[in-house]
Amino acid sequence: MSAVAQLAGVGVRRGDRWILDNVDLDVEEGQRWVLVGPNGAGKTTLLQILAAQLHPTVGLVEILDEILGAADVFELRPRIGMASSALVHRIPDQEKVGNIVVSAAWAVVGRWNEAYDDQDVARARELLERMGLAGMVDRTWGTLSEGERKRVEIARALMTDPELLLLDEPAAGLDLAGREQLVDVLSSIFTDPDAPASVLVTHHLEEIPAGITHALVMADGHIVAAGPVETTLTSDVFSDAFGMPLTVSHADGRWNARAAH
Ligand SMILES: Nc1ncnc2c1ncn2[C@@H]1O[C@H](COP(=O)(O)OP(=O)(O)OP(=O)(O)O)[C@@H](O)[C@H]1O
């Protein structure tokens, strides 16, 4: 297996505080990571580094064989698919779903209605179908439910056939049905051997899809535990990360965490 992302001694300082501190991480081809931890743990900051959108204060970051700081990030970023709520705020309500997905091929938002080629349009259509959104190509963004919007974001992130896929809390704000549909879609992506190496950030263990191979648990800017998911998502690790006694369980392919009594 070859390395997709390697971080060594990475730290990010803001004011007088290290919001990421001494983070080491190796993401290899074929691996699907879940990144969990309390509010303010540094999850989004770490994802921004993996997306080549943020340069650390200290440490070495190598993504897709490019060293951050030496690489041309405008060449690197299109090789990374990212779905986060930051993009969504820039999409006009009247924009068509098909355009939102296909315009990822240009790594732009807001330059809609380009003359896209047929191959790109066909790929966007196929991705939307895979996300359970068949027939929605011509629907406008403003008419979609939250759950449908999240799945459009993921289709857009996959549009460029990225070598690294980053998903920041894709199930945030979804109702139970929306969450379950999303977990299904993510399970089908992560169990596909051709899918890119992936990192999924979530607050809730119930949102962990099938196919996740590794877990990184963070708290207060540092790594509490990292490694294969089965041996990393434990009651001890979670109790340590969240500062309260927690019981972690795994049954029928789904994870759960609750207060230990
Ligand atoms: N530009 C900044 N200046 C100062 N502090 C920052 C900055 N960006 C992030 N932080 C702080 O760094 C910490 C980590 O933030 P980050 O968003 O990475 O955490 P997170 O684990 O994603 O949190 P959440 O689960 O709440 O989304 C937080 O305490 C946040 O307030």
Q: Report domain extents, the chain.
A: 3-259
Residue 166 in tokens: 């980053």
Name the 3-class secondary structure at 172: coil
**Atom 24 of ligand 1, residue of closest alpha carbon:** 39
Ligand 1 atom with the shortest distance to the CA of 19: 12
Each residue of 134-164: pLDDT tens digit? 889 999 999 998 889 989 999 999 998 999 9
Q: Please choose from 18, 36, 45, 49 the residue to mutate so as to test ligand 1's pocket, defined by most ligand atoms within 8 A of CB.
A: 45
Sequence-distant contacts of 241-248: CB under 8 A, at least 24 apart: 241/36, 241/37, 241/38, 241/41, 241/217, 242/38, 243/38, 243/219, 248/205
Cβ–ligand 1 contact at 202 (below 6 Å): no
Measured from the Cα of 46, ligand 1's closest atom is 18
CA of 222 relative to ligand 1 center, distance in Å: 12
- 43 CA to centre of ligand 1 in angstroms: 8
Cα(22) to centroid(ligand 1), Å? 16
Q: What whole-number distance in Å separates Cα of residue 182 and Cα of residue 207? A: 9
Distance 20 CA to ligand 1 centre (A): 9
pLDDT of residue 49: 96
Q: ipTM above 0.90?
A: yes
Name residues of the chain where pLDDT drops below 50: none
Nearest CA to ligand 1 atom 12: 19
By the 8 A CB rule, do 32 and 215 touch? no
CATH architecture of 3-259: 3-Layer(aba) Sandwich (3.40)
Q: Is 45 in the pocket of ligand 1 (CB under 6 A)?
A: yes
Three-state DSSP at 195 gives coil
Q: Give the atom of ligand 1 at the shortest distance from the alpha carbon of 169.
A: 27
* Predicted pLDDT at 226: 97
